A and B are shown apart, each in its own frame.
Chain A
Amino acid sequence: MTELPLIGEAVAVAAHPRLAGAKIGVVTFPGTLDDRDAARAVRLAGATPVELWHAGTTLGDVDAVVIPGGFSYGDYLRAGAIARFAPLMSKIIDAANSDAKLPVLGICNGFQILTESHLLPGSMIKNDHLKFMCRDQVLRVENNTTAWTGDYAAGQEITVPLKNQDGQYIADEKTLDALEAEGRVVFRYVGFNPNGSRRDIAGISNAAGNVVGLMPHPEHAVEAGFGPEIGSGTEGLGFFTSVLNKIVGDNK
């Protein structure tokens, strides 16, 4: 994971001398697809990615963890259901719930793993139109106070790729009302709901704001020329710079 960007400069947006020392773990399960892209996003944001294998039993000294997208265990049983019981997941669950509140970001299949782990409420079922969908998706940042969204403005609209088949977020009405009341709907789809998710919800957080999950893929919108053609194409980089600023801020 030491490759340089194909085009452009690997400049940290939130450049800080201590950022390069920040270590962000990227988990790989059998069937994970986007771990390399997530690691690259971490590097482009200015930090050091650390490969974490699902069968591992320690998180080492990572400052945050990304659970990337893909089809862990072939999506057998339910998306994320088997990955949730991988040895490393119990370490992640404990660290996320600890006083240290380890920042955890789940993207797509990673979001599904976080709901199966009960770190986040609700669940994902098949898209209402039953088809796999891949498109550039506009999202509104509804909460910019989480560990992963601090570099965005509240209400800011960003465009990142979306690609999923089991992306329809559902929860009972009571849970949805509580999420809204507590400001835990972090991202909402704008203009078009691509999967039938309740209340256009694209991403949510836990009560403390350190655990965030979303279906769209910020790690695919971090490098000019390779991201969406709408907007700057790098509007996902803020996830990774946000958590770095959070880590550096906490360590002041």
Chain B
Amino acid sequence: MPRIVVDVMPKPEILDPQGKAIVGALPRLGFTAFSSVRQGKRFELTVDGEVTEEILAQARDAAETLLSNPVIEDVVNVEVVEA
């Protein structure tokens, strides 16, 4: 069954405390190549049947109203992934 993937990231101007904690932990494991980490969220919305334009529009609407908070986050990607 097809899925709609929604990716949400903290806005660039917002300090991401979780990403900061992760970038602090990486060198302790020997991963020294990464100067910054930002942590986002990935949602997978499963659709029973075909993904129509109307269903994709619903997913975009849900991404803006519930899945993300526009004050602190951006929806950076909404795409259909066939199973």
The answer on a CB contact under 8 Å between A128 and B66 is no
Q: Which residues of A contact B10 (CB under 8 A)?
A: 125
Contact partners of B66 in chain A: CB under 8 A: 77, 81-82, 85
Quick check: A170 and B18 within 8 Å, CB to CB?
A: no
12 A-B pairs with C-beta separation under 8 A: A77-B67, A81-B66, A121-B71, A122-B71, A123-B71, A125-B10, A125-B17, A125-B72, A126-B18, A170-B72, A172-B13, A196-B17
Q: How far is the CA of A78 from the CA of B43 in the complex (A)?
A: 13
- What does DSSP make chain A's interface, helix, strand, loop or mixed? loop
Q: How many angstroms from the CA of A101 to the CA of B54 in the assembled complex?
A: 38
Does B18 lie within 8 Å of A130, measured CB to CB?
Answer: yes
Taking CB atoms, residues of chain A closer than 8 Å to B14 are: 125, 170
* Bound complex: CA A123 to CA B14 (Å): 11
Closest chain B residue to A168, Cβ basis:
B17
How many residues of A are counted as interface, with CB atoms below 8 angstroms from the partner's CB atoms?
20
Per-residue B-contact encoding for A174-208, CB less than 8 Å = 1, 0 else? 00000000000000000000001000000000000
The answer to whether B71 touches A128 (Cβ under 8 A) is no
Residue of A77, A85, A168 ringed by the most chain B CB atoms within 10 A: A77
Contact residues in B for A168 (Cβ distance below 8 Å):
17
Min CB gap B66→A, angstroms: 7
Q: Does B21 contact A (CB under 8 A)?
A: yes
Which residues of A in the span 116-160 have a Cβ within 8 Å of any Cβ on B?
A: 116, 121-123, 125-128, 130
Asked whether any CB of chain B lies closer than 8 Å to the CB of A210, the reply is no
* Contact status of A116 and B69, CB under 8 A, knowing A125-B14, A128-B15, A170-B14: yes
Any B CB within 8 A of the CB of A1: no
Is A171 within 8 A of B67, CB to CB? no
